[in-house]
Structure 1
Amino acid sequence: MPAASTTTVEDLPADVLACALRRLDGPSLAAASCATSGLRALAADPGTWRALCVAQWPSLETTTTQQHNILLDSPQRLFADAFPFPSIPSSTTDHHAAAAALPDLPLPCELISAVDVYHKGGSASAPLFSRVLETSTSSSWFLASPFCVDAVGSKDPVRAVASFSPAELELSWIVADPRSGRAVNVSSRRAVAVDRHWYTGETLVRYAVVLGGYKFEATVTCSEEAGYLREVSLTVEDADGAAVSGEGSLRLLAAAMAGPRKLGGGDQEKEAGEAKRRYEEFVRSKRGRKESKARREVLVDLCCSAVSAVAVLSFIASVVLR
């Protein structure tokens, strides 16, 4: 009796398999490449990964020739760097000690940012805003000043749509180092907080990634009635809420680019919940540090007042008893 033949997916023609792989998302394509050597060879096609990256981040379509070569020269590596959340665990509550423990890596001389803002549908729908910008980081002014990168300035607002819900906005902010070819996404993608500006009444939508005791926060300032994105900026804060300098931020970015990525990427709901939890922990810790500092200052003031009162009373007593 002849042995029963078995048919596997690899028995399909290569062009059919390649067409099927091009329909997968990034995590699924990476998983398929680990199945067999044949699928690995088909899944390694740069054209497939390039199309996937452009579909995930439409801003990559707006790059110049030089930026395109930097960002999409190795699209599979770009996706592996930029899609999962970075991970720089902090083993200490002292953020100064955490900064000192970062690896001594070369600082980027230039940063390329690919910024995409979506509404509700994520990359499946047309983005409200996409832009690629270059930031020179070698000047002494940049290194000493608080880190801030503006994708949209207040003097050049972007018209989005007639009306939208700020809480439903999603943001991707990829930062790449042209020299090392590494990249990292420093946005939580979904909002971790939505606030109102106390003076202008505009809505501030915040996206944050906490790395090594520091917070990378991208803020979208929008006027939902007029349908404008007035500001889109990226800043870095330490555990006390103080702005981090350009040099300190570059050290954090270099460590995040070279460091590990969180496993199990692809579950958007889980990742959004984890990013929001870490942000809320950071905010609570910052509030606790401020309250502790305020209590210490009150105690110091009381001690100074008591010493001053004792000195005055001693002086009066010495005068009276003379």
Structure 2
Amino acid sequence: MSSSSTTSSAAGQGGGTTTIITAIHPDIIQSHILNRLDGPTLASTTCASPQLLSLCNDDCLWKDICNSTWPSTTDPRVRDAISAFPSAHRSFYSDAFPALRHHQFRRETHQRRLPDTVKLISAVDIYYEDKLIYSKVLVTETLSAWFLNTPFRLELLDPKETVPTPLKPDDRTLMARAEERLRVSWILIDPDKRRAVNLASRKAVEVRRHWLTDDIQVRYATVMGDGGGGLVQCAVVVTCGGKEDGGEVRVREVSMYVEEMEGKIVGGKESVEILGAAMEGQRRRSDGEKETEIYEMFLRVKAGCRERKQRREKGLDMVCISAGILIFFAIWIFFMWR
């Protein structure tokens, strides 16, 4: 029996027959099989045979997966940007779905490419227990002097805008539930370079109370190189708060910024460079535990930098005090012996 035959004897006592995949009409494969697969499974299916590779490359399949995974991709601005990608929605999915692998890069090799980044598109989706509660698209112009010379920080919500959540303020496990059930996707797209990257970690890497407002801050962070041998964290921070009268907890602020090890927010010019390198960097399979481990490593490095800075400042203070004392005694001796 040839490999292209439509049936073959089934093994086992049943004595039935089974149909091989290559004998099924392509329309049936696409409409009844491939459109039921998720992104990772569909990507794996492309390796099964040349026929499946051709069928799995259908952009309609990947468009449906992208739209269901990230509802913000249905926005016309995002849709137009994705259409220019080398393989449209398949290229976009391969950029945005895997987690960003920690990497370093040489800043000098990217300096000449900065003017190419005219704007950045943010496609943001917020979920609670895998149910979408908010979706929005931001477009950020990156060539203005104000943007390039000020700290890079994007705010998703308008000043008076809030987003309701199923969380309750009187829940004793509020912080744990927020950490476990809230999820954010912040995909940054460069439409000119036709690249994208999901900057939010798959799971929250930290949750804590704000020291002043007592709001809950849930952090989704990705650690990457700064181009100079150091590290930065690209942080997506969701701030939630509610009243103590039993009302609902609402998302009050969602921000994204790049922070260096000394705790300062990186400026627009440097951030565009770092994020551009991240878009071209390697990807890896999403792993919440690994992301948390890398973030904790970043915190340890950050604490070490802070301690060294404090020692340097303390040393400089001692030098200044000693110099002041010496000058005082020198002046005092000078007037005593006049």
**TM-score of the two chains, using structure 2 as the length reference:** 0.82
Q: Does 1:115 align with 2:128?
A: no
By how many angstroms is 1:15 displaced? 2.7
Q: 2:93 matched to 1:84?
A: no
Report the AA paired with residue 214 of structure 1. V
Partner of 1:215: 233
State which of 273, 276, 291 in structure 2 corresponds to 1:254.
276
Cα distance 1:318–1:180, how it changes in 2: closer, same or farther (>3 A)?
closer
The CA deviation string for residues 17-62 of structure 1, in whole angstroms up to 9 with x for no partner, is: 222122222121111102210110010011100000011111223x
User: Which whole-Å deviations, capped at 9, do the CAs of 1:264-313 have from their partners, x for residues lacking one?
Assistant: x2xx5xx1111111111111111111111111111122223223334444
Partner of 1:142: 147
Whether 1:276 aligns to 2:300 is no
Aligned AA (1:289): C
Distance 1:306 1:200, change over 3 A: same
Name which of 245, 251, 265 aligns with 1:243: 265
- Find the aligned partners of 1:200 and 1:302 in 2 and give their Cα distance: 37
The alpha-carbon distance between structure 1 residues 3 and 153, as it changes in their structure 2 partners (threshold 3 A), is closer
Q: Which runs of 5+ in 1 are unaligned?
A: 92-97
Letter paired with 1:118: Y
Contact 1:105–1:255 (8 Å) recurs in 2: no
SS in 1 for 2:132: coil
CA gap 1:209/1:315 in 2 versus in 1, 3 angstroms:
same
State the Cα distance separating 1:258 from its structure 2 match.
2.2
Between the two proteins, the alignment pairs up a number of residues equal to: 303
Root mean square deviation, CA, Å: 2.4
Do 1:175 and 1:183's aligned partners in 2 also have CA atoms closer than 8 Å? yes
- CA distance in 2 between counterparts of 1:152 and 1:246 reads 20
* Cα distance change on mapping 1:321 and 1:70 into 2, 3 Å: closer
Query: Counterpart in 2 of 1:161?
Result: 166
Counterpart mapping for 1:59-78 below 5 A: 59-61=72-74, 63-64=75-76, 66-72=77-83, 74-78=88-92
Identical aligned residues as a percent: 34
The reply on whether 1:295 has 2:311 as its aligned counterpart is: yes
Structure 1 residues 191 and 280: CA distance shift in structure 2, 3 A: same
- The equivalent of 2:25 in structure 1 is 13
Q: CA deviation at 1:101?
A: 5.8
Where 1:90 maps in the other structure, the secondary structure is coil
Separation (CA, whole Å) in 1 of partners of 2:166 and 2:221: 24
Give the counterpart letter for 2:266 in structure 1.
V
Listed one character per residue, the Cα deviations across residues 43-101 of structure 1 (whole Å, up to 9, x for unaligned) are 0011100000011111223x13x43221355100100111112235238xxxxxx5446
Instruction: Determine which structure has more spread, i.e. the larger CA radius of gyration.
Output: 2
> Does structure 1 conserve the Cα–Cα contact (< 8 Å) formed by 2:183 and 2:202?
yes
Q: Deviations over 1:147-197 (max 9, x none)?
A: 111111342112333637321211100011121221111110311100111
TM-score by length of 1: 0.86
Q: 1:40 is matched with which residue?
A: 53
Unaligned segments of structure 2, at least 5 residues: 9-18, 169-173, 226-230
* 1:95 match: none
Q: Using the alignment, how far apart are the partners of 1:279 and 1:102 within structure 2?
A: 25
